[in-house]
Amino acid sequence: MELVDGGPTKPEIAAISLSKLHLMKNDVFADIGCGTGSISILAAGLASEVYAIDSREEAITATRQNIETADAHNITIIHGEAPAALENLPALDCAFIGGTRNITGMLEQLAKKVQGRIVVNAVRIQTASTIIRTMQDMGIFEEAVHVQVSKSYPLADDIAFKPINPVYIIVGDTKKGAP
């Protein structure tokens, strides 16, 4: 897999994030801040249509190469900065945010465009706090999960564990409170 700064999302974190999205086979999904495209590729096997969005040229290049390698045909790559890059998208069933620059504007735009779940991954506690507060103010906050994963490695002919950076997985639902 082609790599870029900040990615790919670790498989364990991706599994939890995707499970929180509740993706269905007819869903239209957006991966904002797609990085290497790992979430987009995983979602492509679950949703009917996927939009992979990133503002960084190296991310778009890596995503394109990784999509070709994965032979995923239902992913559209968009090179642009969110929230502006979201304006021309169709209605979405759910969205994942892996890059948190312009997070408040993205959440405001997504709250209008998504008819379901929005999942955001954040590594900084201040960012997680901003996301939670913004979602609460919008009436869409559902939950925040703090995930700490440790991976095994050999040590003196035995096995030890080394932690990877913790991640906050924040879930909002635009249907929250809807009848």
Region 72-87 average pLDDT: 94
Is residue 74 assigned to a domain?
Answer: yes
CB under 8 Å to 34, separation ≥6 — which residues? 40, 52, 53, 54, 59, 63, 77, 98
pTM above 0.85, yes or no: yes
For residue 127, what pLDDT is reported? 96
Residue 178 has pLDDT above 90, yes or no: no
> Which two three-digit tokens encode residue 74?
């239902």
Residue 131 has pLDDT above 80, yes or no: yes
For residue 16, what pLDDT is reported? 97
CB under 8 Å to 163, separation ≥6 — which residues? 148, 149, 150
For residue 141, what pLDDT is reported? 98
In angstroms, how far apart are the furthest CA atoms of the chain?
A: 59
Which CATH number do you get for residue 69? 3.40.50.150
Is residue 19 assigned to a domain?
Answer: yes
**How many folded domains does the chain comprise?**
1
Give the separation between CA 6 and CA 147, rounded to whole angstroms.
17
Q: In whole numbers, what is the pLDDT of the chain averaged over residues?
A: 93
Region 47-69 average pLDDT: 95
> What region does 116 belong to: left with phi over 0, alpha with psi -120 to 50, or beta?
left
Is residue 179 assigned to a domain?
Answer: no
Residue 56 has pLDDT above 90, yes or no: yes
Is residue 53 assigned to a domain?
Answer: yes
Is residue 161 assigned to a domain?
Answer: yes
Burial of 95 (0-12, 13-18, 19+ CB in 10 A): buried
Domain hosting 33: range is 11-173
Region 121-146 average pLDDT: 97
For residue 2, what pLDDT is reported? 56
Tell me the pLDDT band of 6, cut-offs 50, 70 and 90: low
Q: Which of 45-54, 93-102, 116-125, 143-152 has the lowest mean pLDDT?
A: 93-102
Is residue 117 assigned to a domain?
Answer: yes
Give the separation between CA 26 and CA 82, rounded to whole angstroms.
24
Give the separation between CA 149 and CA 36, rounded to whole angstroms.
21
For residue 3, what pLDDT is reported? 57
Tell me the pLDDT band of 4, cut-offs 50, 70 and 90: low
Is residue 178 assigned to a domain?
Answer: no
Is residue 120 assigned to a domain?
Answer: yes
